Structure 1
Amino acid sequence: MRLVWLRNDLRLADNPALRYACAGDGPVAALFIISPTQWRQHKMAPIRQRFMLAQVDELGRELAALGIPLHLLRVETFAEAPAALSDLCRELGVTQLYANQAIEIDEQRRDHAVSAVLAEQAVSCHWLNGCCVLPPGRVLTGSGEMFKVFTPFSRAWLKALDEEGFVIHRAPAPRGEPLPWQPLVERAWVDEGLGELTPDPRWPVGEVEALRRLNIFLEQAVLDYGETRDFPAIAGTSVLSPYLAAGIISPRQCVAALQQRLGYRPQSKAQPGFVWLNELIWREFYRHLLVLIPTLSMNRPFKPETADLPWSWDPDAFAAWCEGRTGYPIVDAAMRCLNATGWMHNRLRMIVASFLTKDLHIHWRLGEDYFMSRLIDGDLAANNGGWQWAAGTGADAAPYFRIFNPTTQGQRFDPQGEFIRTWVTELADIPAAYVHQPHDWLRLKGRRDYPAPMVDHAVARVRAIEMFRSLEK
């Protein structure tokens, strides 16, 4: 018996672990492990848990139709996984375990422990690359080190891809008679401690849905992506991040579909489609970093010297940021959107992260954790990479004094205030000319229903620069 252990790779197509587990004859089974306590410790958002479990349900039905049973185990923490897997392998007569490589440090430690336990009962473990187009460790400098700046990594990544290419693995063929599948909502033990399992209707699960979104984006928006991607009121992005984070679609499928749409693989900014491809490479960059620099999974900054920065931990200021009460309309609209939907536009993520760290001088770890606790696409590598980039502690060639002005960012990327008025209802009736600096207009109207700016950006910017310059002394 061969067992494939599914994690953040909840798909049939282009799933190396599933593909190799199904190679040859003999029975195959699948496994998914539910770890509620561990998920809470990792700040996994409830909306992401529901999305993931809804996809497990969908995948269980699809596997059952192929004659492959999907077993569910519940262990509260990763520490319990080795013993539970050992018992299941003994019960099923498993001789080989297949899984796609985990990149986070706790998950890697769990997998090492599983390998050690299963080796004692002669079960061989096979760990494959299912999370990246090119496996972590493949794209290195000439001296064999990981790139610390994105642009040279991007060039080297493109060169390596040209040299090696990549393969899209087909979904497995039926392996026997269809099997029954009991939906998760009928299993009382599954939702104990997890809350409501009903997924958000705004985020339908399934590989068909992920491919539909990808194809619509490639047909309608990819050629204009470089011009429209920064405007939150415009549907200019692929909105595929939840599907990539859960592994419902793979990055290889995205690259292959882009190539098919364009007829070539873009190599520079001058070529249509390159800006979106570069975003996929950013995703690869952060995942490679997480594997090769394990301390990034341990709340440590990429730049060690920045560990001594005198960050604030002010709970009241942090709460105002979380709840969208900063007095800066674009920041407040973005945070209220996140709290209501579990998703935030990427330009807005940069704006609110810069505001928390450079205007409020609050530690990036608080923002990183809050995002993970709310985002449907929460992913440690991308989230940590983005927050450290914004905070000036991460892998970034730009100097620390790059600080976003929240007012001018709003004026530039939501010029008419459409996004702001959607989410900051107090400003729904404000004229566009005042929407980014509404306080004088509100004062003239005798209104106090929207907060005054909690900081002066110009003053806060100077303080942020002083914080970083103090490290040079």
Structure 2
Amino acid sequence: MHLIWFRRDLRVLDNRALSAAGESSDPVVGIFIETPVQWASHHLAPKQAGLIKARLEALRAELRSLNIPLVLECADDFSEAAEKVVAYATQIDAQAVFVNHEYELNEAQRDEKAKAELESKGIAWHAFDDRNLFAPGTIKSGKGEPYKVFTPFKKACLRALDGMDASPRQKPTKRETNSAVDAIFLQLKPIHFDYPTEDVADWASDEKGILAHMRRYCREQVADYKRQRDFPAVDATSQLSPYLAIGALSPRQCLARLQQEHADWREPDTGAATWLSELIWRDFYQEVSAQNPAISKKYSFLAWGESVVWDNDLTLFEAWKAGKTGFPIVDAAMHQLNQTGWMHNRLRMIVASFLTKDLLIDWRWGEDYFMSKLIDGDFASNNGGWQWSASVGTDAQPYFRIFNPTTQGERFDSDGRFIRRWLPALKQVPGKHIHQPWQWADQYAQTLDYPRPVVDHATQRKKALAIFEAAKNQPQEQTP
């Protein structure tokens, strides 16, 4: 008997652990462990929990067609989850447990515990690098060191793609009927979560629907990605990130389809090459997280980031969360996040810069809030994006580069189409005034059901520059 422990790899196609478990004729059983206390400590969004639950229901049916049962267990935290897997593997007399690596600190510690306990009982542990195009540690500089800057990392990845077979793995063959497996099927209970979940009816959760979404995007929209990706009113991004985050889709599946549809996927400045860069960014942040465990402990990548003295005004933080800052592009973006569990990538940068540079609030507050809302929450990518915006991470924007929320809105939502969609109180404001509605309201004696700006950008910019300059000049201690 082989046991596969599913985590953030909720798919049948191109699942290396599942493929390996199914290579022999041995029966295969799947297990997933819900960990509500651990998830709460990691700020797992109920929206993402809803997608995981929906995906597990579809995955159970997909595995059933292969005669592989999927068992659901519940444990408070990762440590108890490891114990549950050991106990279940022992119960079904499994010869081996198969997993795909997870690289964050808590997850790695969980797996070390499970591996040690299983091997002490004579049960083999087989772990595979499955999550990325390139496993952390495989793309190194000429000096044999991990990259700390994205552009050379990307160039090295593109070189490594030469001659590499990134073809997705096929699903295992259907298992033969087995009385022990049949007994497990009879004992399966409906999938239930103790963790709160939100409705995800707008998102596909079955393999057919997810793959159709990916294929359609690669075929019909990737060519325009570079030209249109920064404009939130345009439906130009793939919105595949939720599936990549929970492993319902692999980056290799995306790459294979991209290469099949676009012969120019390597050509600079094409939509295909730009979209491939996004997949490589995902690998890069996984690399940074894996190579720097302190990041999982909430430390800044750059040591001086720990010396920044944040204002951390709770009233301003609540205004930011609620989309009531008086800056339309920021508020519209936050309403999109709060109502849908997703936010356009350009807007993620704008609202993160606003929180850290205008409101002078610790980036970790924003990081946690995003994770608590995002259907595509992924620790490494979310952390990397927030540290980039706060200028304390790898490949970060310089601390003196501070987004002006008004000009960002004018540039990327010039006619206010996105703003009006999410802020109906501003629907009557003329286009040229939409980004500074109170100037119009005051000039024409109009009443707005919309807050005035909570800060003055120019004033806050000067204050941010001084705070960041002071932090950089502090003696630095080594990050643990």
Q: Give the TM bin, normalised by the shorter chain.
A: over 0.9
Question: Are 1:75 and 2:41 matched, yes or no?
Answer: no
Equivalent residue number for residue 209 of structure 1: 209
How many residue pairs match? The answer is 467
CA contact 2:51–2:200 (8 Å) conserved in 1: yes
CA contact 1:13–1:170 (8 Å) conserved in 2: yes
CA contact 2:49–2:196 (8 Å) conserved in 1: no
Relative to 1, partners in 2 of residues 1:53 and 1:262: Cα closer, same or farther, differing over 3 Å? same
How far has the Cα of 1:402 moved from its partner? 1.2
Question: Are 1:421 and 2:420 matched, yes or no?
Answer: yes
Matches of 1:406 and 1:37 in 2, distance apart?
37
Equivalent residue number for residue 191 of structure 1: 193
Q: Which amino acid aligns with 2:354?
A: F
How far has the Cα of 1:167 moved from its partner? 3.6
Matches of 1:102 and 1:152 in 2, distance apart?
24
Equivalent residue number for residue 233 of structure 1: 233
3-state SS in 2 of match to 1:273? helix
CA contact 1:331–1:406 (8 Å) conserved in 2: yes
CA contact 2:214–2:240 (8 Å) conserved in 1: yes
Identity %: 43
Relative to 1, partners in 2 of residues 1:332 and 1:182: Cα closer, same or farther, differing over 3 Å? farther
Matches of 1:58 and 1:246 in 2, distance apart?
13
How far has the Cα of 1:93 moved from its partner? 0.5
Relative to 1, partners in 2 of residues 1:217 and 1:181: Cα closer, same or farther, differing over 3 Å? farther
Relative to 1, partners in 2 of residues 1:399 and 1:170: Cα closer, same or farther, differing over 3 Å? same
Relative to 1, partners in 2 of residues 1:437 and 1:250: Cα closer, same or farther, differing over 3 Å? same
- Unmatched segments (≥5 aa) in structure 1: none
Equivalent residue number for residue 56 of structure 1: 56
Q: Which amino acid aligns with 1:96?
A: A
Question: Are 1:113 and 2:125 matched, yes or no?
Answer: no
CA contact 1:57–1:183 (8 Å) conserved in 2: no
| Cα displacement string for residues 85-132 of structure 1 (whole angstroms, at most 9, x for unaligned residues) | 121011100111110000111000000000011111001111101100
CA contact 1:364–1:391 (8 Å) conserved in 2: yes
How far has the Cα of 1:273 moved from its partner? 1.1
Equivalent residue number for residue 288 of structure 2: 289
3-state SS in 1 of match to 2:130? coil
Equivalent residue number for residue 319 of structure 2: 320
CA contact 1:17–1:100 (8 Å) conserved in 2: yes
The more displaced of 396-405 and 377-386 is 396-405
Matches of 1:92 and 1:440 in 2, distance apart?
70
How far has the Cα of 1:164 moved from its partner? 3.5
Matches of 1:451 and 1:59 in 2, distance apart?
46
Taking the TM superposition and a 5 Å limit, the aligned residue runs for 1:57-456 are: 57-177=57-177, 186=190, 190-192=192-194, 194-195=195-196, 199-263=199-263, 265-266=265-266, 268-396=267-395, 398-443=397-442, 444-456=444-456
CA contact 2:388–2:397 (8 Å) conserved in 1: no
Matches of 2:264 and 2:327 in 1, distance apart?
43
Matches of 1:409 and 1:361 in 2, distance apart?
19
3-state SS in 2 of match to 1:31? strand
How far has the Cα of 1:272 moved from its partner? 4.4
Equivalent residue number for residue 20 of structure 1: 20
Matches of 2:399 and 2:130 in 1, distance apart?
35
CA contact 1:2–1:98 (8 Å) conserved in 2: yes
Question: Are 1:35 and 2:9 matched, yes or no?
Answer: no
Relative to 1, partners in 2 of residues 1:206 and 1:261: Cα closer, same or farther, differing over 3 Å? same
Q: Which amino acid aligns with 1:33?
A: I
Equivalent residue number for residue 470 of structure 1: 470
- Unmatched segments (≥5 aa) in structure 2: 474-480
Matches of 2:75 and 2:457 in 1, distance apart?
47
TM-score normalised to the size of structure 1?
0.96
Equivalent residue number for residue 478 of structure 2: none
Matches of 1:182 and 1:26 in 2, distance apart?
20
Q: Which amino acid aligns with 1:226?
A: K
Q: Which amino acid aligns with 1:352?
A: V
CA contact 1:329–1:435 (8 Å) conserved in 2: yes
How far has the Cα of 1:454 moved from its partner? 0.8
Matches of 1:234 and 1:354 in 2, distance apart?
22
How far has the Cα of 1:221 moved from its partner? 1.4
Q: Which amino acid aligns with 1:406?
A: P
How far has the Cα of 1:163 moved from its partner? 4.8
How far has the Cα of 1:220 moved from its partner? 1.9
Equivalent residue number for residue 476 of structure 2: none
3-state SS in 2 of match to 1:23? coil
Matches of 2:2 and 2:264 in 1, distance apart?
38
Matches of 1:320 and 1:55 in 2, distance apart?
34
Q: Which amino acid aligns with 2:331?
A: D
3-state SS in 2 of match to 1:203? coil
| Cα displacement string for residues 138-162 of structure 1 (whole angstroms, at most 9, x for unaligned residues) | 1111122111110000001111221
Matches of 2:397 and 2:415 in 1, distance apart?
30
Q: Which amino acid aligns with 1:290?
A: S
CA contact 2:5–2:32 (8 Å) conserved in 1: yes
Q: Which amino acid aligns with 1:455?
A: V
How far has the Cα of 1:195 moved from its partner? 3.5
| Cα displacement string for residues 219-268 of structure 1 (whole angstroms, at most 9, x for unaligned residues) | 221111111000011011111010110111100010110000013541x4
Relative to 1, partners in 2 of residues 1:181 and 1:463: Cα closer, same or farther, differing over 3 Å? farther
Equivalent residue number for residue 9 of structure 1: 9
The more displaced of 29-38 and 269-278 is 269-278
RMSD between aligned alpha carbons?
1.6
Matches of 1:472 and 1:302 in 2, distance apart?
13
Q: Which amino acid aligns with 2:358?
A: D
